Structure 1
């Protein structure tokens, strides 16, 4: 949160740079173990079993008709001369040519379907979609859609970071003529669809009425819920999902299934000036009429699609892309509603298919022609409905999550549509998500109701199998036979039983790696290969922090609820505290109560006889509660504490530090 640090420094806090990790998304930075330099722990080539699996996969793929590549290249205008997009300090945050090396047939270390997919997805630049509509693609994991208004540009989804968004707009102005931005639309509440807002417009222009920002209902609440309350755990898991730290290559990262990676740089957020509440709502922005379809609880809790009547063009946001999506993303999120998802796609077919000659999404490439629009939306609709209905059918026959995932496959009519294949989501983990939405985590098998935790279970299983040598011998037999699922299961137990067993770690890394090579899903590949890297190298130092805009836009009650989740009962014990917070710059006050090892906050209320009253701008509360900055420094910066200062110190001391990295593939 570099902007927040600068503001604290401006207030006179001299040690601001020591607190650069306010509300981190990813905090890795664990020392690399000594065995990381062992040549035996370097990436391995594809095994004979993997080579055979890739050949079988290639033989089973749908017929290539060339439409995807044609659509991905259609309307190309230009791209940047310099492929490296940099931050103000010169750091590279994006490389447009990261996949320029891809030529010819798939190497044995990449699933041939994923290779084919990435050869299409790697195209980047400014593309004309139809009259007065363009997209900038490949400048981030998402697309920025550009609509020409009467006087300026209307931008839908300004990418993830300030830097990539600014570079995209720079390209637009260079190729199409410089115009001001007059409207920004956030299709939904995920960072790659709003994070670049300050790269394309300013708060001053918004306050002056020069720019309208439109978002779906509940956008701010859902943005806050996902990025703050569960932000630390979700961020660490996202490191696996998106392959953060993996280098694009034949043995490395191959995109994310619906885009490349996620751009570096600064994530920003400007608060919407207008919200859409129901399907059919219309707005006129800079002379262009826009019609909206609300699609909540699909790919995001707050999401909407955009129809441009004058261009006969429909933007399906992220409920339809070039891949089956995630009903529950591996990074973690609220479980999505696959049934509602299919129903909204059906509604889109009915409302917009016959009225549209082009269809776009906020990822991947467009499709052209009314027949393509109908077929693409209908195909996605049927895929989510089949996935939902067949999961529920098998669930009601008594099958568990894992049994359903093993059995359920897309029928050929759907699997043979390239855009329905599992480059991002998969039938396997999506069917488990649908099961979870209806029945929860428990599969009704009592042995799974109260199992031992992973470390203890690993020790007992290894002992039951006759010890470490026998587990390794059996794992090697499984790997030789190409049964990497079984070898990973065995070796996972061994590593949790004895994380210092270097042979077991190396074998588990090799086993994960081959599964990554074979995966059609880009994010499965990323997770397997990241796991292999962590086993071989330890956690790779990496920091990605939220910007001040994210925190500023989040309501104080939710921030205080987030603080409460960090109260350590071992420190606070049975102490009772009554503290009032007064926040003049927000015209807010809050009553903080601590007792029975829990913390409650009540907005708009105050203790009649508090232990202490704290008064100051909200930025200093963030420094006190999230950064845990010493009270003396905060008082020097303008925070006022009346009453028992020790009570405030006790609250602050009882808060866990912001979560840092945690292990995933070992205890």
Structure 2
């Protein structure tokens, strides 16, 4: 009886708390005309929220060489990330090496001209994102010490071989690649009101050297006569090395950024555990450094200043995560969580906690989805209408297209941007070619981009606006490079399986075997709606119905729909050894073909992708 009464009390208390929580939700007033938005114009003409001018003080926006401590320099402003140079009696050590061979060459010259002409004898990677210029930096790639996390080589090789963004589900890498291209300014011009702010990442020739010295957590390694201690246990946006120089009391890291940590990336990424990010910061705090050198942010100097910086930053991560969980306990769903978290003034006002890269409302739903999945316990969503039908019915209920369009224009005039976008999107869902709707949404998204607190939000909004205006073409997928496909043909046979159309193939069962010119073999067992990848066809329970020998380059062209089976057969790139070419064509036609004209959100023109 007492247990029952206790349960009733808990339920009642929770219900009361839910009501209280919902009444205090933070509201997106910035995008609903309820906050005054101050804009500024950057030197390149880019129009953005005035807060970006302050963010520029947290990074090295122009080429800069800064001496942090005796024998330690930070080079900023030459790349999307900073470089660190450490001078020892035996030579130079470089921490992080850039995004390409070209960047490696540039930084090598900067070092020679401004720091030292000593040989570069070692490189250390803080993580996998900025390690592609090493071969152009070190003096002797054969003898250089290359230090990295135990997961680094695997992570980098996966990315290089796949020819796209790293994905927890490799089959979706092409989608993440496309969104990454948008995030990093590839569809914004260099100048003008839509001009880029921040770095632009493009695929260039790399000079990656794998780590030949993998370090364990808290391991101390002597390089050039200097002691380096490495911490490997915690992860931010990647597997990290935090580097501690005990004699100099300098810590070098990828946990402290110029803006609140991107606890969720809207380009798409694996779940980023905020508790790991928090604990990685705590490791640095407890070392009591006097200088904190960062991959993206300016160096923080002074023991007191570093302690306060880490504490404020760490507390912001803790607050966002713990309050997200508190909201879930109150019964809030992911959309309600977006505006639930209250940011105490002392944390919100701390410069490096600015929502400059990502925004808090994007982070809070991630914890919900990670644990709870998509269902927020609103049973009306269990059998939801398809988006087009929902839009059609909603617009009809509102009085039709003209009324909805006028309402959206009125909301836009009142700077109710979020509502104008939602109304306009109903019309766009029904008819993406509606010129008036496209014009309205382009204007709305440009205004939202200029009002955005975050660099990523600005980039996505402006890129979409430009696509609606026909100035850019935004890819849904960026396919892997032909050389990546040719280099790992069996891997991409596995990737190919997800293209099968179950409507076309539900009455077909055929076993295909591909013998590639590099000596590898793989199969696809097409079985009434699915295609099973068979890594060892000789051991598969069904013998081959169709077998062919395929040149790896030809396979890459077939994968990308750059050639046909007829053309490949005529050129000798495909040779049948069992079954007929017509039978192979019939089975391969059950799979989707990559068609660039159909893989873009708003088809306009060709892109460099």
Equivalent residue pairs, number = 559
Q: Which residue of 2 aligns with 1:600?
A: 532
User: Is 2:194 the partner of 1:252?
Assistant: yes
Cα distance in 2 for residues equivalent to 1:220 and 1:654: 34
On the 8 A contact 2:73/2:85 being kept in 1, the answer is: yes
Aligned to 2:231: 293
Secondary structure (helix, strand or coil) at the match of 1:594 reads: strand
**Shift of residue 213, structure 1, vs aligned partner:** 5.2
Cα pair 1:186 1:194 within 8 Å, conserved: yes
1:166 to 77, 80, 105: 105
Superposition deviation, residue 370 in structure 1: 1.8
Query: Secondary structure of the residue that 1:134 maps to in structure 2?
Result: strand
Instruction: Supply the distance in 1 between the matched residues of 2:548 and 2:223 (Cα, whole angstroms).
Output: 44
- C-alpha distance in 1, partners of 2:265/2:227? 34
Matched with 1:5 is none
**CA 1:439–1:265 in 2, change beyond 3 Å: closer, same or farther?**
closer
Aligned to 1:338: 274
Residue among 119, 139, 146 paired with 1:212: 146
Secondary structure, aligned partner of 1:487: helix
2:291 to 336, 339, 358: 358
Deviation at 1:584, TM superposition (A): 5.0
Within the alignment, does 1:312 sit opposite 2:277 as a pair? no
1:432 Cα deviation from its structure 2 partner: 1.4
> 2:176 and 2:555 mapped to 1: Cα distance?
24
Pair 1:512–1:305, CA change in 2 (3 A): same
Work out whether 1:187 is the aligned partner of 2:132. no
What is the alpha-carbon distance in structure 2 between the residues aligned to residue 126 and residue 551 of structure 1?
41
Q: What's the counterpart of residue 43 of structure 1? A: none
Q: Distance in 2 between matches of 1:251 and 1:615?
A: 54
C-alpha separation in 1, matches of 2:247 and 2:560: 48
- Trace 1:320-335 onto structure 2 (pairs within 5 A): 320-335=256-271
Deviations 1:588-644 (A, max 9, x none): 554543333433335466358544666688666545545665566599688876444
Within a 5 Å distance, the mapping from 1:568-647 to structure 2 comes to 568-569=501-502, 574-579=508-513, 581=515, 584=518, 589-603=521-535, 606-607=538-539, 609-611=543-545, 621-626=555-560, 629=563, 642-644=577-579, 646=581
Give 1:382 deviation, angstroms: 0.9
Instruction: Check the 8 A contact 1:577/1:594 in 2, yes or no.
Output: yes
Q: Residues 91 and 120 of structure 2 are in contact (CA less than 8 Å); yes or no, is this contact kept in structure 1?
A: yes
Residue 182 of structure 1 deviates from its aligned partner by 3.1
1:432-467 deviation per Cα after TM superposition (whole angstroms, max 9, x unaligned): 112211212222112223322332222221111001
Give the match for residue 518 of structure 1: 451
SS in 2 for 1:565: helix
For residue 50 of structure 2, what is the aligned residue in structure 1? Answer: 112
Give the counterpart of 1:280 among 212, 218, 233: 218
Alignment match, 1:226: 166
Deviation, 1:362, is: 1.3
* Deviation sequence 1:190-236 (CA, Å, 0-9, x none): 4xx2344454369xx54x34453534426524645726532221122
Q: Give the Cα separation in 1 of the matches to 2:584 and 2:126.
A: 41
Distance 1:641 1:392, change over 3 A: same
Q: Is residue 489 of structure 1 aligned with residue 427 of structure 2?
A: no
Structure 2 residue ranges without an equivalent (≥5): 1-29, 605-609
**In 2, distance between residues paired with 1:623 and 1:150?**
52
| Larger relative contact order (Cα-Cα within 8 Å, sequence gap ≥ 6) | 1
Contact map agreement 1:53 1:518 (CA 8 A) in 2: no
How far apart are the structure 1 equivalents of 2:221 and 2:580?
52
2:75 is the counterpart of 1:146: no
Task: Tell me how large the CA RMSD over aligned residues is.
Answer: 3.8
In our comparison, the structure showing a higher alpha carbon Rg is 2
8 Å contact kept, 1:515–1:525: yes
Q: 1:463 to 1:264 in 2, by over 3 A?
A: same
Cα–Cα, structure 1 residues 161 and 458, in superposed 2: closer, same or farther, change >3 Å?
farther
- Which sections of structure 1, spanning at least 5 residues, go unmatched? 1-46, 59-97
Q: Following TM superposition, by how much is the alpha carbon of 1:187 offset from its aligned partner in structure 2, in angstroms?
A: 2.6
Alpha-carbon deviations, 1:226-264, whole Å to 9, x = none?
Answer: 265322211222243233221355722452xxxx22233
TM-score, scaled to structure 1: 0.73
Greater mean deviation of Cα atoms: 319-328 or 571-580: 571-580
Alignment counterpart, residue 411 of structure 1, candidates 335, 344, 354: 344
Inter-partner Cα distance in structure 2 for 1:178 and 1:340 = 39
Tell me the residue number matched to 1:128.
67
Determine the structure 2 residue equivalent to 1:475: 408
Equivalence map 1:526-605=2 (5 Å): 526-537=459-470, 539-540=472-473, 558-569=491-502, 574-579=508-513, 581=515, 584=518, 589-603=521-535
Q: Does 1:435 align with 2:418?
A: no
Q: Would you say the 8 A contact 1:215–1:272 is kept in 2?
A: no
| Secondary structure at the counterpart of residue 117 of structure 1 | helix
For residues 245 and 231 of structure 1, the distance between their equivalents in structure 2, rounded to whole angstroms, comes to 19
